[in-house]
Amino acid sequence: MATTFHFSTNLTKTASFPPCNSITAFITLPSKNSKTLLIRTAVNSRAKSFNLKKKLLSVNCVAEHKLQDPGSQQQQKEATDSLSSVTPDATSIASSIKYHAEFTPMFSRENFELPQAFFATAQSVRDALIINWNATYDYYEKLNVKQAYYLSMEFLQGRALLNAIGNLELTGPYAEALSKLGYRLEDVACQEPDAALGNGGLGRLASCFLDSLATLNYPAWGYGLRYKYGLFKQLITKDGQEEVAEDWLEMGNPWEIVRNDITYPVKFFGKVVTGSDGKKHWIGGEDASAVAHDVPIPGYKTKTTINLRLWSTKAASEEFDLYAFNSGRHTEAYEALANAEKICYILYPGDDSIEGKVLRLKQQYTLCSASLQDIIARFKRRSGATVNWEEFPEKVAVQMNDTHPTLCIPELLRILIDINGLSWKDAWNITQRTVAYTNHTVLPEALEKWSLDLMQKLLPRHVEIIEMIDEELIRTIIAEYGTADSDLLEKKLKEMRILDNVELPSEFADVLIKSKEADIPSEELQTSEEVENNNDGDEEEAVAKNDEIDESSIQDKKEELPEPVPEPPKLVRMANLCVVSGHAVNGVAEIHSEIVRDEVFNAFYKLWPDKFQNKTNGVTPRRWIRFCNPSLSKIITEWIGTEDWVLNTEKLAELRKFADNENLQVQWSEAKRNNKIKVAAFLKEKTGYSVSPDAMFDIQVKRIHEYKRQLLNVLGIVYRYKKMKEMSAAERKANFVPRVCIFGGKAFATYAQAKRIVKFITDVGATVNHDPEIGDLLKVIFVPDYNVSVAELLIPASELSQHISTAGMEASGTSNMKFAMNGCILIGTLDGANVEIREEVGSDNFFLFGAKAHEIAGLRKERAEGKFVPDPRFEEVKEYVRSGAFGPYNYDELIGSLEGNEGYGRADYFLVGKDFPSYIECQEKVDKAYRDQRTWTRMSILNTAGSYKFSSDRTIHEYARDIWNIEPVKLP
């Protein structure tokens, strides 16, 4: 098994190109004795130029020259040391792009079109990243610093080209270089597919964190899985959402470096045996190999470039059954290969079947096992001949992003105990000091619970370890609460145990029985002898009574016996396992962290209050304003007087003193309108609908889910449309501001109700957008296949953004931060980070509606008791939908979910009907405010000024200080 992790370009082993009137792609490095060292990019000055008309590529290189001796190691060191001190110009960059087009192609040289230009450009950027990348980890290795390892099932990176050259401060030179080659940078950048490694806010947060970690010079790694087909590509048809496989890897990925020498075994199934040495051995079963794919993540205005290591899976060649294949049994022949490879096919495979559940659990274990083996191999190498495991938590911090990486807890224990021979006590202590857990949800269905039987089959050794952790917890609970109050003890055990619906281990069962006996008054207790004597005395009487019971009454009693209650499933509660095993648990917004402490994990909070923290989420200001909104960024820099705000967002607050300045307001409005014009063109291209850039752009883009309440939004639009239809043209114009209502987001493939919501939005749009009476006064558009790149276009153009989840259900949200940062005004509930955004931007600059989090439970109880009285306007809207105004589709299931007082999928669990009146009244306030464009622009400026807190840089500083205990390490 290989454990090497260097990202070396092997400069000490590679011969340098000779001097040849050439231009180097990034750096020509003079050294004392050797002529010139070229890094992968020598191009002859006599090279033929691009034939831009035919787009045919022809580049003469240095084939006519012999490679010269690379010189001494000292000379090469001097050359390498000077790499980062030289800033490439447009000419050298153009030569680098030519070089990669000729010598590292992933396409035919006769077909150098835009996609090929992107690949060559990306590979030229990667050269620069690798140089800094090697230097970064070599320096960390030399200092042997503590590093943070961020484990996440999702990393929603988005396009990398503009972000990378922006962080390297090479946007201008690259634009000029591509211009020399006949291309526009923007056109080349648009050829890059979004990396399909995530779905929503969880993955985008992880990517923002990597950007901030690199920018702030923190030593860190990201670990994830390399999904071949992503989640899915979303198509919008007449039937609503359809899913097809993502094709993001069809042309290859120019950013990743495959590390075929860094592979780790991952085992499934099998059995556990005890060896003659008394150690546990996990044997047999199914084997796969995890292969590392590395993606460099550059920091902004720093040499620091950290690594995102993604794992793919494969089986060994010998697993291919050649005999079976030659016998015609082809499927059987490559079954083992297919089983291994499919682990990383898609993100979140459907889990309605046993096979789907097994595959999901395999994914989670693969991420944890491969990553921990890699981390431990690195720790051992840095430790040298003698490994002091007590130092492991002093060198390693593992952060679990939600419950998906929970299996890293038993896996770390397994590696420490079974492979490295540590005692349970020592291994448990090390694990607790190493891992930490970020909670991202309070939704019960998202707090993962796995079948104990399923996990027993797939990961038998890990179940044994989880049982040991559960026993440790039981001891702690008994020690804390004692045995005097049996009801309290039983309640705490039921609430807190990791294993749900599982009998207590035998050593503890007696404790609970004795505790219950202690609660019974002494006079009610009888010895077994007394019981026997009493029975003897009553025997004759009992027989006499029994004689009086006839057979018919016995039969009646048999018929009255209730149906046997099925045993509840035995489950492993992953969130409880995280809380018990980690040294820190954090929520991601103040209100969310309060709910985590006071409700979700209150019993644990009472036991370990110091474990619980809040770390309000943030977004990187580089990608989410500096690079995606250059026109607004330029205005901010001009008025603040410095570009330092990109690194120190606190400086954004200085915009407040200019909020009433007419010149700033004019510039601000022009930038916003220009962004809206771009979006209008994009919408026309993607959907065929034409929209007016003079209308308000009202946007809700996020994962489609009932709690996020896209349904509330679209029902509000239906109400608006119905009222418009009841008015004359003049009345419409007087009462309503023109709006373009934009939706985007994916519904999970098996989430029927969410898919109905997508269908409903598209049906409303089809009706409204083709209504000549309404015209540009109202447009409803669903953007297909919403992703990071679409967000980078929509967010700078947004004027109103909807964050309208049921209060207390959204952990934080991060898109709300991105919108506010770009001068968009939010309409929302007091949920997640909305609470803190409203505090920072000012209540006058936030449109608030809806029930509060502390009211939700009471409102649901009221509904269950039949006391809810719907607003007439809500009933009116539902009837309008049922009337067929938006086509023949049967919306009974969708609308029915908002009706009734109880039942799954009924009783309006997410309180759409309750908040509807407040919502439409708040929308009337939005219309009124938008009519006064001066006031609206002032509100927009103050939203950007108040967004300074929501930088992921601030969040990462807090994680580093309060949880990981790591320090910045700036390269010399």
State the catalytic residues.
440, 702-703, 708, 814, 818
Q: Report yes or no: 410 and 465 within 8 Å, Cβ to Cβ.
A: yes
Q: What contacts 267, CB < 8 A, 6 or more positions away?
A: 282, 285, 286, 287, 288
Q: Is 158 left (phi over 0), alpha (psi -120 to 50) or beta?
A: left
Q: What contacts 521, CB < 8 A, 6 or more positions away?
A: none
Tokens read off for 290: 């995890």
Q: Which residue has the tokens 């291209």?
A: 685
Q: How many CB atoms lie within 10 A of CB 657?
A: 10
CA distance 563 to 559: 10
Return the ∠ at Cα 365 (arms to 364 and 370), rounded to 5°.
110
Q: How many CB atoms lie within 10 A of CB 443?
A: 13
Alpha helices (runs of H) in 641-787, residue ranges in sequence order = 662-687, 710-725, 729-735, 752-768
Amino acid at 936: W
Q: Report yes or no: 447 and 601 within 8 Å, Cβ to Cβ.
A: no
Nearest Cα neighbor of 425 from 385, 475, 381 is 475
Q: How many CB atoms lie within 10 A of CB 775?
A: 13
Q: How far is CA 731 from the centre of its chain?
A: 46
CA distance 953 to 72: 42
Tokens read off for 100: 């990669």
Show the beta-strand stretches assigned E in 75-232: 147-151, 220-225
The neighbouring-strand residues paired with 266 are 288
Nearest Cα neighbor of 241 from 253, 229, 231, 227 is 231
How would you class 39 by CB atoms within 10 Å of its CB: exposed for 0-12, middle for 13-18, buried for 19 or more?
buried
Q: Which residue has the tokens 């290189």?
A: 61
Nearest Cα neighbor of 783 from 775, 792, 774 is 792
Q: Report yes or no: 42 and 61 within 8 Å, Cβ to Cβ.
A: yes
Amino acid at 907: A
CA distance 769 to 204: 32
